[in-house]
Homo-oligomer: A and B are copies of this chain.
Amino acid sequence: MSAMSSWDLMAGAAGQRPQLSGRPASNTRILVLGAGLSGLVAAYELGKLGYDCRVLEARDRVGGLEWAVQRGSTHTEVGGERQVCGFDEGQYVNVGPWRIPYSHEGVLGYCRELGVPLQVFINEAENSYFYFQGAAAGPLANRRVRMREVRADLTGHINELLLKAMDQHALDQLLTAEDQERLKTFLVREGYLDSSTHAYKAFENRGEGDPYDLVALLQGGFGNRLRSVPAVEGTAAAPMFQPIGGMDQISKGFQRTMGAERITLNAEVQSVHQDDRGVKVVYRDTRTGKTTEVPADYVIVSMPLTIVSGLDINLSDDLMQAVKDVTYSNSAKIGLAMKRRFWEEDDHIFGGHLYSDLPIGEFSYPSCDYFTRKGVLLGLYSNGPIGNLIDQPIAERIEYVLTYASKVHPQIRTEFESGYAVFWKKVPYSLGGYASGRNVARRQRLSQVDNRIVIGSAATTPRSAPDWQEGAVAAGWQALESIHARAMRG
């Protein structure tokens, strides 16, 4: 994630929809292949501009990576194992994107325009636990320690140390006596120090128990997560949002607004052939097996490049080579439905994450439906390989997560109801999470119009845009701008 932050800071600059001039000739047909976020954005805007725009989508749902798995959700992995989600009605887990920083004006602007209600996604919760095993040394290794306690104790100890240094006149060359008094007042108050002795000791707002030792806290490795202001996504971090009811409410908002007839589901693209007069796309209905040829003037390919690379499509050789050069992440998420929200009831944790070095990546608590009975934990979120986990039967992957998570939450065994694992490398029509790396030259090449076809999936996100869904929006904008310019040239 940290590698993203310099990109993400540029989010503001990318938050502008393209201002397109010129109107298309009537009946100019554009086919968008793939109803993920980038494809939907392109199709929606082109439709508004007057194009005869239609989307083909291989799955039986819109959204692509935007997927809130819920009761009845199903997919069959490459390799053959099939899951059907058995969560209770109303329970869900976002297995693709799950949080929207407030600065992602592209995505959020569409939420507003399409009437998608948002709620706060809690990305940092003071009651969260730290739990470090291998990475930690000292007495706090393999122990649950609250973020609140870590923050209180580190601040308290450090402020006390600085006050001691001031008593030794260590700052006399740097600050006047008056300013040192001001600083002392601040340090005592901020760190809840004893006002007369300036010692740090247990205090009510920290919670029960004695403070942890400074050295133990530093050894424990907890400090890495504590920064003066949030580091993930830079200034874009807090607050974050999520659509109420699941991330794919955004895609469904596009579908509803564009009209369902504009999007053909269960349409697996077989071939894309262009010549100087147009493009012919053949798709197969995945339910009936019937193939259909659709003519278009232009095509935006908003499918993952993992799929494009194996497609019968006549792109120029160097563009196809650029497509094939892109690798995709091993992103995976596992949702764990629980009979009882024990993290709320027993641990007073409401949203946020577990900070651990357990080999389950991110483990997170739902930012919705607080104080209700059941809930779905995000048991694993990883963007890289976790041993050979992806090769295990799904039940064993879930068992793996339960085993590690129960070190922090022993209740998870008895409260577990059912799980659902999405390893995007094995999800048909995805075969990966997001395009790895941000090779600028390659992205520029990928985004160039190839006669009548342009690639518009998130792998082409321009340099000025962040990743996340905002990048998919920016990629959609870039593609529609390019194809509109192409159409205007005729």
Contacts and interface: CB of A to CB of B under 8 A. Distances in A.
Interface of A: 5-6, 9, 102-103, 108, 111-112, 117-120, 122, 125-127, 148, 151-152, 154-156, 158-159, 161-162, 164-166, 168, 170-171, 174-175, 179, 182-183, 185-187, 189-192, 204-207, 214-215, 218-219, 223-224, 226-231, 234-235, 237-239, 241, 348, 350-351, 367, 369-373
A372 B109 CA distance: 10
Contacts of A228: 151-152, 154-156, 190-192
A30 to B, nearest CB: 29
Quickly give the copy total for this chain: 2
29 contacts: A102-B348, A111-B371, A112-B372, A112-B373, A117-B369, A120-B351, A125-B238, A126-B230, A127-B238, A154-B186, A158-B162, A162-B162, A164-B171, A165-B170, A179-B214, A179-B215, A182-B219, A183-B214, A189-B223, A189-B224, A189-B227, A190-B223, A192-B228, A192-B229, A204-B235, A205-B227, A206-B235, A239-B350, A241-B371
B227 A103 contact: no
Given A126-B230, A161-B171, A165-B168, 10 more contacts: A120-B120, A154-B186, A161-B162, A165-B170, A170-B170, A182-B219, A186-B218, A190-B223, A206-B235, A241-B370
A112 B165 contact: no
A192 B5 CA distance: 14
A226 B229 CA distance: 12
A219 B183 CA distance: 10
Given A218-B179, A228-B191, A239 B205 contact: no
A165 B171 contact: yes
A241 to B, nearest CB: 6
B182 A238 contact: no
A284 to B, nearest CB: 39
**Cβ-closest 7 pairs across A and B:** A155-B228, A165-B165, A165-B170, A170-B170, A182-B218, A186-B223, A205-B234
A348 B101 CA distance: 11
Contact of A6 (B165, B183, B204): B204
Contacts of A118: 370-371
Nearest to A166: B165
B227 A190 contact: yes
Contacts of A206: 229, 235
A152 B112 CA distance: 32
A126 B238 contact: yes
A175 B215 CA distance: 9
A187 B171 contact: no
A190 to B, nearest CB: 5
- Which of A122, A219, A227 has most chain B Cβ within 10 Å? A227
Nearest to A176: B215
A335 to B, nearest CB: 21
A112 B227 contact: no
A190 B122 CA distance: 21
Contacts of A183: 158, 161, 214, 218
A229 B5 contact: no
A114 to B, nearest CB: 11
Contacts of A218: 179, 182-183, 185-186
* Interface-central residue, A171, A189, A227, A239, by most chain B CB under 10 Å: A239
Contacts of A152: 228-229
A468 to B, nearest CB: 16
A235 B207 contact: yes
Most chain B beta-carbon neighbours within 10 Å: one of A168, A183, A205, A369: A205
Contacts of A187: 158
